[in-house]
Amino acid sequence: MGKVFLLLSIILFQSNIFCQTSGESFKISKDLGLIKISRNAYIHVSYADVPRYGRVAANGLIFINKHKAFLFDTPWTDSLTESLVTYMKDKMGLELSGFIPNHWHADCMGGLGYLLSHKIPSYANQKTIDIARSKNLPVPVQGFKDSIRLYLDDKVISCYFLGAAHSLDNVVVWIPSEKILFPGCMVKSLNSTDLGNIADGDINAYPGTIDKVIEKFSHARIVIPGHGQYGGLDLLKHTRDLLRNF
């Protein structure tokens, strides 16, 4: 009887997760949480104490199809990434099929070491691989130059390098079935009043890169920045305005 009750509890818990309404959020730990943005996608939000900036929240994306999942950006650390992957497996019933970082910073691939140790397939801009190797960081396994198309079962995942911006290697992820665009840290939330950390970027190339993103993904429904509240195309336009005022 106890085993039956436990099984029913797990089923009901998983059903509750997948039946959540878009925009609903819940905690995994004090430094990690999820926000449901569509039937098949969640933003994972993790927190770290960053010198000069204090406690900083960073966004990543989880795309789900038929109980398989793809991860875009890890939480800040291996331990937070382990917590997320364990939660996805044990509480959401998901098998992690692959990983792509937006760029080489810790808020994008600080947990790559954990993924590599568990042989999760990883893909990245070749520039990201080269920078990671030069800095003695964990290195994604498979590189691409301009773009890559992957599949999560029958769903398409497209990743593009459209130019330098926040960093020299930043990419954008496009999930056409959801009309979700994840450009990460190159795009700022609407309450951002500046471009944030651009020490490793290219301010001269930045406007042209954003223009390419706006032109290529004018049909995006959801746009996810690297930090802060997600939204729509207005985030891209807001970022372009910040660049004009820089």
Q: Dump pLDDT digits (tens) for 164-222.
A: 999 999 999 999 999 999 999 999 999 999 999 999 999 999 999 999 999 999 999 99
Question: Are 112 and 102 a contacting pair, CB within 8 Å?
Answer: no
11-25, 52-66, 158-172, 199-213: which has the minimum mean pLDDT? 11-25
E strands present in 101-186 = 123-125, 142-144, 147-152, 155-160, 172-175, 180-184
Question: Among 108, 166, 170, 238, which one carries the catalytic annotation?
Answer: 166
Token pair 């951002």 is at which residue? 192
**219 catalytic residue (yes or no):** no
At 18, is the pLDDT very low, low, confident or very high (cuts 50, 70, 90)? very low
What is the C-alpha separation between 191 and 196, in angstroms, rounded?
Answer: 12
Q: What is the mean pLDDT of residues 45-64?
A: 96
pLDDT at 137: 98
Give the tens place of pLDDT for each residue, 131-141.
Answer: 999 999 999 99
Which token pair is 189?
């939330």
What is the C-alpha separation between 245 and 203, in angstroms, rounded?
Answer: 12
**197 catalytic residue (yes or no):** yes
Determine the distance from the C-alpha atom of residue 148 to the mean position of all C-alpha atoms in its chain, rounded to a whole number: 16
Q: Compute the residue count for the chain.
A: 246
**102 catalytic residue (yes or no):** no
What is the C-alpha separation between 59 and 235, in angstroms, rounded?
Answer: 15
Instruction: Provide the edge-to-edge strand list for the sheet that holds 147-152.
Output: 147-152, 155-160, 172-175, 180-184, 222-225
Strand partners of residue 223? 181, 231
Fold of domain 23-244: Metallo-beta-lactamase; Chain A (3.60.15)
At 146, is the pLDDT very low, low, confident or very high (cuts 50, 70, 90)? very high
Domain residue spans of the chain: 23-244
Q: Which uninterrupted H or E stretch holds 95?
A: strand 95-100
- Alpha-helical (H) ranges within 136-205 are none
In this predicted structure, the answer to whether residue 2 has a pLDDT above a threshold of 50 is no
Question: Among 36, 44, 103, 127, which one carries the catalytic annotation?
Answer: 103
In three-state secondary structure terms, 230 is coil
**3 catalytic residue (yes or no):** no
Token pair 């009043």 is at which residue? 193
